[in-house]
Structure 1
């Protein structure tokens, strides 16, 4: 079932600053630091062994690599990151792209960020064989958004879009050398930020339905704000990928970095002592329990921030380490199934309950991204 429900255009004003959230986990601060100190960052080999285990299970249980929609495309973003780290399983990605003819769901005229997500993996494959035909569909789709007759800037009305499409815009901007793509990227991103960023809590609302205090679904059953974990994970991962892909000369790269840093700071107080983040970052009693997809995206983002010099490793490496150790201890089954992945949805109540056997392609992709990025910190 598709999870997107198109919102009507909503008037909005810049969000006022609100008080920061209190810790929402099973314990933070000193208790979290103690837990991390007892479980250090594993070796590069140990991290990549977990990556291989989870990836091998997924491939073995999904001989058909699947369609080119956002969920499977997110898997292949992680798959290609794992390939770059291990040199393994390239053929599986090639089979996926070939059976989908390097095309986009919805065709080249699509403006839907979900449909453009496949372009991330297509570019990853282009980096290997330099076959420009891989880029025909995605480049045309992005070109139409930048230079076509429809100059709307409100396409990204849900926060997930920042992961699905921002890295593709950054790729096309770098590939073409045309700063117009970077300008359009910033304009589209600014619309989403003005609509969904909570500057007080340093977290993101999923869409206008959840913006406090005006959204119709802005409160949890316990009267707390609703900051969906995976929604925030989409954003942190999207900002990390975009920062990595934009040329240093891009005038907005520093702006993305600054917001990335603010977002990362908002995540630390709400991490659980077992390393996971709750499905509602603002309410630990709203569908409590471990959840892997948001946690994996946060781990990827924090690890990238450390490696890129955006985050202080003395502060953020313990959080990333604790998250990775928590996932591998709790969510990775001995045969490689990755559990506790919340299924498709838009909020903490979606696809519940989340169990030890709940898994999904995008969650596996997030885990592969997290592991391969974390492994770089051990090199």
Structure 2
């Protein structure tokens, strides 16, 4: 994406290899920004995206992630502008799903998260017709014994929350049972051992990256930042929807805690996370989408009392400072977003001028969760 380089108060990067030097960790703040300051940045980023996209776009997984973040910001601020923009998007697509109601693909279910948000704000049953019909087929009528649909870790973000939320809304635990069956396959069975590495708490993107498969150029494992970010967000959103006593809630909590603990140990000095969590020399540089999802999940874990506040507040504070000082342009454009892909090499180089709808959505989710933390 070509954008102007001379921006007041910002340092533009000429190429993807010209990266800002990370400050020593001790020089980076560990105090939380004020809620007012966080909201001001979130509004600037959201307003820039909306102004640049008069057509709100399709209802695919990437754009649906943006609207999940935008509606989180609406809940935080009450801004009617954000609600109107999201409502217009959903109505443009008649609250439908890519692939129709027969789809089993997790990516196609992601739009259902925003539709559920809009339903909660303005309840009308038609808003849920497509997402509920599609999940109902998987639970009850369309090969309910089939549980291998989620073969990549991104799927946990796209589809775990809709199953959790429809089950809660309808008071039907069968949706939660199906959610766990799909999740269990991804975690423990897919590719043989499952995509979850119990030793580290991190997740492989899909079976191609399991031990013995694809490695980094220096022979280290490939544990993709955004893939783990999707997993973090999937657990976070699911835990928000499930009642505390639901049988699998404890496992989801434990898995999220293990994951945010693991990523806290490999956070960069500048607050970001590398695109390959297992190899800091594999395409090093700041990357916004994975960092935003880790900030989102860690801030939630603090607020929910799942991790020690004193230990993890510096993690989210450094992440936020890194994002707002390095990735957010003065006009609200959000840079350093790795675009669509499935591994660190995808959509490279990642620069100050690369962005994407799902990256903006992840940033809005992160900031709204951070703003809810007490100073």
TM-score for both structures, normalised by structure 1: 0.90
Which of 113, 127, 138 is equivalent to 1:134?
Answer: 127
Question: 1:35, 1:273 within 8 Å by CA — same for their partners in 2?
Answer: no
**Structure 2 match to 1:70:** 61
**Structure 1 match to 2:200:** 201
Q: Which runs of 5+ in 2 are unaligned?
A: 1-20, 189-193
Question: 2:31, 2:313 within 8 Å by CA — same for their partners in 1?
Answer: no
Secondary structure in structure 2 of the residue aligned to 1:197: coil
**Structure 2 match to 1:108:** 101
Question: 2:271, 2:318 within 8 Å by CA — same for their partners in 1?
Answer: yes
Residue 149 of structure 1 deviates from its aligned partner by 3.5
Residues 178-234 of structure 1: per-residue CA shift (max 9 Å, x gap):
111111111100111111001112100000000112x2x2x1001110000000000
Residue 39 of structure 1 deviates from its aligned partner by 4.7
Residues 88-145 of structure 1: per-residue CA shift (max 9 Å, x gap):
1210000000001000000000000000000000000000111011000000100011
Question: 2:30, 2:315 within 8 Å by CA — same for their partners in 1?
Answer: no
Residue 27 of structure 1 deviates from its aligned partner by 8.7
- Superposition pairs of residues 177-188 of structure 1, within 5 angstroms: 177-188=171-182
- Superposition pairs of residues 160-199 of structure 1, within 5 angstroms: 160-194=154-188, 195-199=194-198
Question: 1:228, 1:347 within 8 Å by CA — same for their partners in 2?
Answer: yes
CA gap of 1:99–1:279, structure 2 versus 1, over 3 A, is same
Q: Does 1:282 align with 2:274?
A: no
Deviates more, 1:248-257 or 1:60-69: 248-257
- Superposition pairs of residues 30-69 of structure 1, within 5 angstroms: 32=25, 34-36=26-28, 38-69=29-60
**Structure 2 match to 1:8:** none
Distance in 1 (alpha carbons) for counterparts of 2:107 and 2:252: 21
Q: Does 1:87 align with 2:78?
A: yes
Q: How many residues align?
A: 347
Secondary structure in structure 2 of the residue aligned to 1:196: coil
- Superposition pairs of residues 305-344 of structure 1, within 5 angstroms: 305-344=301-340
Q: Which runs of 5+ in 1 are unaligned?
A: 1-25
**Structure 2 match to 1:364:** 360
Residue 265 of structure 1 deviates from its aligned partner by 1.1
Distance in 2 (alpha carbons) for counterparts of 1:170 and 1:372: 21
Distance in 1 (alpha carbons) for counterparts of 2:372 and 2:27: 23
Structure 1's consecutive aligned runs of 4 or more residues displaced over 6 angstroms after TM superposition are none
